[in-house]
Amino acid sequence: MEERPVTFGIHIIVGADSDPEEIAKATSQLRRELLALDVEAVEVPQEGEAPPGSKGLELAALGALVVTVARSPLLNSVVAAIRSWLGASQQRSIKLQIAGDVLELTGVSSKEQRRLTDEWLRRHGSQ
């Protein structure tokens, strides 16, 4: 039986006082790190049309990514990379979502965070 690709959303929160430029920079950095893994795609979702008179055709959803992995076991690698990225700043937090099942991670490392991550991965067939 062939596995179907797994697609999930990521919502990035950089900090309470962050501006759109900081969020865009952090999103771009995480996107580059995830593209270095064996993922199918890391896309920035679009959020409708740009305002009249602007040069953009569509607005990118600020602080959001959609990741597609070919096999669910790759979720472990992706989540490990995300946890590492979070460790660079305690101001960062992330929400991962597959089919309505949301996992929120913060830059603070803990046993509880690891346990919740493992449970979330198990629910999606990657453990």
Report the 10 Å Cβ neighbour count for 24: 17
The confidence band for 55, taking pLDDT boundaries of 50, 70 and 90, is: very low
Of 7-11, 18-22, 99-103, 120-124, the one with minimum mean pLDDT is 18-22
The tokens for 1 are 């039986």
Kindly state the helix (H) or strand (E) to which residue 10 belongs, with its residue range.
strand 6-13
pLDDT at 31 over 70: yes
Please report the domains of the chain, with CATH numbers, ordered by start residue.
Answer: 6-123 (3.30.70)
Cβ atoms of 83 and 93 within 8 Å: the answer is no
In whole numbers, what is the pLDDT of the chain averaged over residues? 81
pTM value is: 0.81
- pLDDT tens-digit readout, 62-97: 889 999 998 777 888 898 888 888 877 778 889 999
51: phi > 0 → left, psi -120 to 50 → alpha, else beta; which? beta
Following DSSP, what letter does each residue of 92-117 receive, concatenated? -EEEEEETTEEEEEESS--HHHHHHH
**Spatial separation of the C-alpha atoms in residues 120 and 44, rounded to whole Å:** 23
Looking from the CA of 81 toward its CB, the CA atoms found within 13 Å total 18
Cβ atoms of 60 and 8 within 8 Å: the answer is no
pLDDT at 112 over 90: no
Look at residue 58 in the predicted model and tell me its pLDDT. Answer: 45
